[in-house]
Structure 1
Amino acid sequence: MQLATSCDKKADPAPVVVTPPPSTTTVAPAKSSAKSVLTFTFAALSPAINGTIDNTTRTISATVAAGTDVSKLVPTLTISDKATVSPAPGVAQDFSKAVTYTVTAEDGTTQAYGVSVVVPPAPVVTTKAIKSNSDLPDVLEDLGNGVDYLVTANISITGTRVVTVRPGVLIQFEGGSSGFTISSQAALKMIGTAAKPIILEGKVASAGSWQGILVRATNIENQWEYVTVRHAGGNSQNGGLSIGYFGDATRISLKNCTFNTNFGYGVLCNDDFYSGNCFTGFANNTFTGNTKSALKIRAAEMGSLDTPGKYADNGQKYIEVAKQGTLIDDITVKKIDVPYRVFATVRSNAKITINAGVTIEFTTDVGFDCRYDDKQGAIVANGTTAEPIRLIGYLPNIKGLWKGFLLENGSPETSFTNCIIDGAGSIISNPCSGGYKAALSFGANPCGNYPGRGIVSNCTISNSGGYAIVFKTGDPVTVSNNTYAGNASDNTFNYK
């Protein structure tokens, strides 16, 4: 018997995909293990001192100036990001002994840095005393840090002796009469440099605490460069450097020198009788803080002062021009940062050229003279519209304060253009000029055949105590395009 069976075949059911829910667990990033000192500075010191960090040996070293108190120094540190340090930065520590700073990284690991601060020994004081002429060596050397020489008397350098001072030397002077006097054919030669100037100063840092330097010698080796003289002018010297005496023809060269905080003048030329220039060289000098003018000079030195020099920051805001013999060498007066103030009439047998922009002030009854027998004398004062030359009284707007210009010798070079001339004509210059008060007086015909010559154009002449311009009819004096105001007499006078 055969049995037959059957069943229906059905498809398998589709698989079910189950997606697990998102995880709510966050994996924390690894913590930083950085733990270095990046900078270490003593910022309160002047200048600030940066420590040297050695990350191999984990040490920090710093060297401070001699004499520094390291028992309470406050360091500034920068360290790795997310790290901390102990002791805390900005807190004073005693660095006379070893100090350890421990840097802790974010992950808790640590690194220690040992800090050492070195204080060098104070420099050895090598000051040599100069108490008498015999103590003064022929060559003064830079002996090291500090004061090299201390002078306690007035030291004389005379005969043909030449004393040389090397760059970088510092000389102090103690006592009101201490200083150097150079005379005869002797010389004090001081050539410093910008980096190593030579300094002469008072042990007491106040004006007049020592006498200063007196030069009365003709030796052309009296040369100073990059020399500073300060605190001098005591014992009636009245200045840092005093030059010349009674016709001794002293000469000296000053370049890149500084005269400051002296009692009286920075430099004074004292020789009323010597007609030549005291300066064999003069360039780029600075005068500050002197109680009187930067310089007291004569007309001969007016031509030495240069535009780069600094003369303004002193007690008297002008250059004092004093008496001297007849000027015999041509000069060019250059524009500087203060006026020239003339205290005695200047007689010239040489050409005086006055540059544009110059101001010359005149005190009572003084002026410039070129007499009829001063054959080489001439005044060439040619300003510009932008920079006129000012020839004025030392007190503004005073009629007839100063004498004026006496121009008897008839030089064809004499010329005044674009000048402001105010307050002249105080006294009769000379009977040979006609006997008239005037700002500008040409010719000397009453004393012989000395016709006036010159040019006056585009000038303003005011407040003369007499005439503005005087000359003889027919003389070759050209007067044109001038402005006149407040003159006591006529603007021009032509005598016969």
Structure 2
Amino acid sequence: MKNLQLNFKPLMLLLLVGFIFGSCSSEDDSITEEPPQGNNPAIVLDCDYFSQSGNIHLENVPGAPVDYIISCDAKIKGDLLIDAGVIIEFERNAGLIFTDDANYKIEMNGTSAKPIILTGVEKDKGYWRGLLMTSDNPSNIMKHVTVEFAGQVRPGGWGYKGAVIGSWGAIMTFDSCTIQDGQEIGLHWVHYAADLYINNSVFTRNDVPIVTDASHINSIDETSTYQGNVNDYVRIGGNDVDKDITFHNIDIPFYCDGFKPNNAAKRTFTFKPGVTLLMVAGSQIRFNNAFSYQHETIMVGTAEDRITIKGKEDVPGYWKGLVIESDSPLNEIAFLDISDAGQTVGDPNGAIKLESSAFLKIRDVNFINCFEYAMSLNYYYPFHLEYSNLTLDNTPLMFSDWNGAEVTTP
């Protein structure tokens, strides 16, 4: 393991001897003094250092306000351990890349009293590239780490951009971390990354705090804060969902391309009270795919904390709406405000569509500013619908069949 730590004991001994002998000389002789504490220089780490194989352990440099300066976009080829209190500054366009197939461990163990700081030599958004990681080591952890002033579009044509990027099977636990002042994206966890765990962290002053897809949202929850960014929303891409997911009531909305389950197995979709989703133009959320697995939709708010799903713009038919094709008796929608939904061309065009053999309990739902119908029902197949207290607000009609004809009593 490459273990970097400066040893100042020999230096201090020489200084002490010099002081003793100097005190016996004439007053005109100069006296060598110990350098002022806290002014020792940082150790510069270049790509030649990182190109060597082996593990890396970065410790505190005694008396140095900044412990290390990294001068290149370095590829890590071993385990990386960074101790509490270490401060690393990155030169322009520098960064760290964890892309080796060996899936080495990433361990940054700061504390609340001694956080690890990863920052730029200059304090400008996007000054350095940030972290790009693909390691799927389940022990990967960043604890009490601040990443700031990073975030670029990385070269290579993969569309990676942001301050901290997870890709190609990456696993990481972010515990009590801060990602701030990031250009492009604070945390970019792409859809083919693996597991993402976030606890008690802060994402602020970034262009966008987090970009990921629905399969990675489970730990984007109320333990962390996400406000104070240029765009205050968590951006959710439109890839198929490969696990049970829960939308938590965080302090900003989700901004969503729409999604659907993949074809592998049954999924459960849970929306906690108070959740807000902003939908991309033309998008929809489908609780089905090519095969029926009785996917479960549990979208139950409360009278005090209603769930909101609406278009990013307040335009009737801005997004297509919800599609349910599952006969699970657990499907339930309650205390929901659904706005700006319903496709503007073709039928069916309800804000909520019940496909073949669907089962749904729905109550206390407001259909606001929707294009034509609140709900469209597919009478070509048997379905089960229980409804009560449905309200139209600037939405013309309540029910239609699959061909767009009004239905007064389903």
Q: Please give the range of the TM-score, normalised by the shorter of the 2 chains.
A: 0.7 to 0.9
How far has the Cα of 1:253 moved from its partner?
Answer: 1.0
Take 2:401 and 2:117, find their aligned partners in 1: how far apart are those partners?
Answer: 59
Counterpart for residue 128 of structure 1 = 43
145, 148, 157: which is aligned to 2:76?
157
C-alpha spacing 1:383/1:235, structure 2 compared with 1 (3 Å): closer
Instruction: Find the residue that maps to 1:172 and give its secondary structure.
Output: strand
Does structure 2 retain, via aligned residues, the 8 Å contact 1:293–1:318? yes
In the other structure, the counterpart of 2:58 is 140
**Distance of 2:318 and 2:150 partners within structure 1:** 35
Letter of the structure 1 residue corresponding to residue 199 of structure 2? A
2:130 touches 2:151 (CA, 8 Å); kept in 1?
yes
Distance 1:427 1:191, change over 3 A: farther
Give the CA deviation at 1:494. 4.2
Name the residue aligned to 2:399: 492
TM-superposed deviation, 1:222: 2.1
Q: Are positions 1:287 and 2:203 aligned together?
A: yes
Task: Please name the residue that 1:305 is paired with.
Answer: 220
Partner of 2:271: 354
2:186 is paired with a residue whose SS is: strand
Separation (CA, whole Å) in 1 of partners of 2:92 and 2:153? 9
Distance in 1, matches of 2:37 and 2:183, equals 34
Q: State the distance in 2 between where 1:477 and 1:428 align.
A: 25
The one of 373, 377, 390 equivalent to 1:467 is: 373
Structure 1 residue identity aligned to 2:162? G
Question: Are the equivalent residues in 2 in contact too, given 1:157–1:187 (CA < 8 A)?
Answer: no
* Post-superposition CA distance 1:332-365 (Å, at most 9, x none): 2111110001024444651111000110110101
Give the CA deviation at 1:187. 3.0
Question: What is the distance in 1 between the residues matched to 2:38 and 2:323?
Answer: 64
Q: Offset at 1:240? A: 1.2
Q: What displacement does 1:305 show? A: 0.8
* Per-residue CA distance 1:131-174 (angstroms, 9 max, x = gap): 0153476111111341111100111124xx21111111101100
Report the secondary structure of 1:134's partner residue. Answer: helix
Letter in 2 for 1:211: R
**SS of alignment partner, residue 461 of structure 1:** strand
Structure 1 residue 231, shift from structure 2 partner: 0.7
Q: CA RMSD in A?
A: 2.2
Tell me which residue corresponds to 2:330. 413
Change (3 A) 1:347 1:437: farther
Q: Where does structure 1 lack aligned partners over 5 or more consecutive residues? A: 1-118, 430-434, 445-450
CA contact (8 A) 2:153 2:162 kept: no
Within-5 A mapping of 1:413-452: 413-426=330-343, 435-444=347-356, 451-452=357-358
Report if the CA contact (8 A) 2:258-2:285 is conserved: no
**CA displacement at 1:439 relative to structure 2:** 1.2
Letter of the 2:161 counterpart: N
Structure whose CA Rg is larger: 1
Distance change in 2, residues 1:428/1:456 (3 Å):
farther
Counterpart position of 1:400: 317
**Do structure 1's residue 370 and structure 2's residue 293 form an aligned pair?**
no
Partner residue of 1:479 out of 368, 371, 387: 387
Query: Are the aligned partners of 1:347 and 1:368 in contact in 2 as well (CA < 8 Å)?
Result: no
Tell me: higher relative CO, structure 1 or 2? Use CA pairs within 8 A at least 6 residues apart.
2
Decide which of 114, 118, 132 is 1:196's aligned counterpart. 114
1:267 aligns with 2:187: yes
Distance (whole Å) between structure 2 residues aligned to residue 277 and residue 420 of structure 1: 33
In structure 1, the residue matched to 2:148 is 230
Contact 1:416 1:457 in 2 (8 A): yes
Segments of structure 2 that go 5 or more residues without pairing to the other structure are 1-33, 155-159, 404-410
Q: Is the 8 A contact 2:236 2:254 kept in 1?
A: yes
Q: 2:89 aligns with which of 163, 168, 172?
A: 172
Counterpart-to-counterpart distance in 1, 2:389 and 2:323:
21
Cα deviation for residue 410 of structure 1 reads 2.3
Task: Give the fraction of aligned pairs with identical amino acids, expressed as a percent.
Answer: 23
Q: What is the match of residue 252 of structure 1?
A: 172
Supply the distance in 2 between the matched residues of 1:220 and 1:427 (Cα, whole angstroms): 47
Q: Distance in 2 between matches of 1:223 and 1:343?
A: 30
Runs of 4+ in 1 over 6 A off after TM superposition: none
Shift of 1:238: 3.5
The 2-side partners of 1:486 and 1:288 are apart by 36
Q: Number of paired residues?
A: 353
SS in 1 for 2:216: helix
CA contact (8 A) 2:143 2:176 kept: yes
CA contact (8 A) 1:239 1:267 kept: yes
Residues 120, 150 of structure 1: alpha-carbon distance in 2 compared, 3 angstrom cutoff: closer
Check conservation: 1:268, 1:296, Cα contact below 8 A. yes
Residue equivalent to 1:241: 164
SS at match of 1:458: strand
Following TM superposition, by how much is the alpha carbon of 1:294 offset from its aligned partner in structure 2, in angstroms?
0.7
Is the contact between residue 403 and residue 428 of structure 1 (CA under 8 Å) also seen in structure 2? no
Q: Name the SS of the counterpart of 1:297 in structure 2.
A: strand
Q: TM-score, normalised by structure 1?
A: 0.67
Q: Shift of the alpha carbon at 1:376? A: 4.7
Q: Tell me the SS of whatever aligns to 2:169.
A: coil
